[in-house]
Amino acid sequence: MRIGNAGRYRRGLPAGFGRRAGRRGRFRLWPIILFGAFFAYYYFSHQEEVPITGRSQLVDMDRQQEMALGLQSYRQILDQSVVIPNGQIVDTVREIGRRIAAVAEDPGFEWEFNVLDSEQANAFALPGGKVAVYTGIIPIAETADGLAVIMGHEIAHAIARHGAERMAHQKLVQFGSIALGMAVGEMDMNTRRAVMGALGVGTQFGVLLPFSRNHESEADYMGLIYLARACFDPRAAPGLWERMGAAAGRRAPAEFMSTHPSGETRIRQFQEWMPKALQVRNQHCTAP
């Protein structure tokens, strides 16, 4: 009797109920395969070489478009900031910038150097050679050599096209997220959330942050070589980062959570690179 009731109960279920339940939780592989094929094509068809280091990088943005975006951002920042028009510090910044730009690779930039009145201990360089130094970093730099370390680093970021490379990495992460979302689309909501959350954490701490720290280290090295070519003293670099660390105090996060290497890491790297930098300086400069 119970068997008969069970049979009638099953016959009363909606058509396809068993098939939908059987598919629940299935992982679809084809979106991952398509993304893998796209990744291989995209990655190997958009390779460039970074000056000095020779590293292969992924960049898909046209250089002229990148420079136009840099100029647009620079004008917006200047319009929203207090620009110091002249004076000794402006002359010093522009002279340091001119000397470093003269010995760096020529990417066709129209260099421009400005000083912004702000307590920020910061500086930046945008594509196209648009550079700004905030007054808040001047006391930390202390000397022209210290300021050359800062400006050489920022100029290196622009020449190495780190901004365009980060945009390409973020594009791949977005496409990968879409592919994974399609692959787990038939799974239950909690599983999808867990998988996508793990992807977000993994890409942030396993891809984007390490790449950002590598960019910072690469800009440190390139900037050190540039300032040595321009006859500034590379030995100012470790002391600068000691002062930067003292100024930051305990505000800096742990290195694995940061976009930048720790001050200790940077000082160690500068010390490792110092023999090469001094050799370059001796080759380009007559003064000791």
* Residue 157 resides in a domain: yes
DSSP-derived letter for residue 26 is P
pLDDT for the residue 67: 95
Q: Which DSSP state fits 208? A: I
The residues assigned a catalytic role are 154
- Report the number of distinct structural domains present in the chain: 1
Q: Per-residue pLDDT tens for 124-163?
A: 999 999 999 999 999 999 999 999 999 999 999 999 999 9
For residue 253, the model assigns a pLDDT of 62
Q: What does the pLDDT read at residue 187?
A: 81
* Element of type H or E holding 112: strand 112-116
pLDDT at 235: 97
3-state helix, strand, coil in the chain (%, to 5): 65, 10, 25
2 within some domain = no
Q: What pLDDT is stored for residue 250 in this prediction?
A: 61
Tell me: the pLDDT tens digits for 179-211? 887 878 778 788 777 877 777 777 776 667 777
Q: What is the pLDDT of residue 134?
A: 98
Residue 135 domain-assigned (yes or no): yes
Identify the segments of the chain with pLDDT beneath 50. Answer: 1-23
Please check whether residue 6 lies inside any domain of the structure. Answer: no
Q: Which of 48, 261, 81 lies closest to 153, judged by CA?
A: 261
